[in-house]
Amino acid sequence: MRHRVVLAVGSNLGDRLGTLQGCVQAIGGLPDTDVLATSPVYETAPVGGPAQPDYLNAVLIAATGLRPLDLLAATQRIEAESGRVRAERFGPRTLDIDIISFAEEVSDDPVLTLPHPRAHERAFVLAPWHDIDPGAILPGRGPVAGLLAGLDRGGVRRRPDLVLGAATSGAQTPEARTPEARTPKAQTPKAETP
């Protein structure tokens, strides 16, 4: 059985756009997993932690047959392969992948709390999610549109000049995609400008 999952991805070190594009490809290449939709890219001022560069953020909607903890382990491997070092909480990172929601699951497991315990407070998660699924519901919190309307969006800027292409994994199957959630054919990411 496959489950609909929402993943937030971000990078603020190195080739931020290239890292996010590699992340989309890597997630699409996981076993029994398809990326169904990729949001526009946002540039975001860091929240908490030490002084650091701005992030590029996006949200992915995927379908997966993986169990939640298996998906967590897989996303942590992708982070590590991208050079992520977990040195300090809220510190800069080459890649951050958060599981925002996994189907309708609600869990207070300290290893993987579902939905993500701070997603409802983060415009850099809710804005891109709303772009690709305006009717989305954050389990236990309500409609994403309403949550987003209550947040300050200062420091969260959409970057229409930056585009993430669709995952092109050979493992994708047409039946995994719904007509309303299809992404365009893979595009070459536009060059990031300073």
For the question of residue 98 being annotated catalytic, the response is: yes
Single out the catalytic residue among 16, 84, 122, 159: 84
For the question of residue 84 being annotated catalytic, the response is: yes
Strands 156-158 and 42-44 turn out to be: antiparallel
Single out the catalytic residue among 16, 34, 96, 122: 96
Rounded Cα distance between 103 and 117, Å, is: 15
End-to-end Cα, the chain, rounded Å: 43
Closest CA to 14 of 83, 110, 106: 83
- In this structure, what token pair is assigned to residue 95? 């890649």
For the question of residue 54 being annotated catalytic, the response is: no
Whether the Cβ atoms of residue 48 and residue 122 lie closer than 8 Å to each other = no
| Partners of 58 in beta bridges | 9
Single out the catalytic residue among 98, 131, 141, 158: 98
Single out the catalytic residue among 16, 93, 122, 159: 93
For the question of residue 70 being annotated catalytic, the response is: no
Active site residues: 84, 93, 96, 98
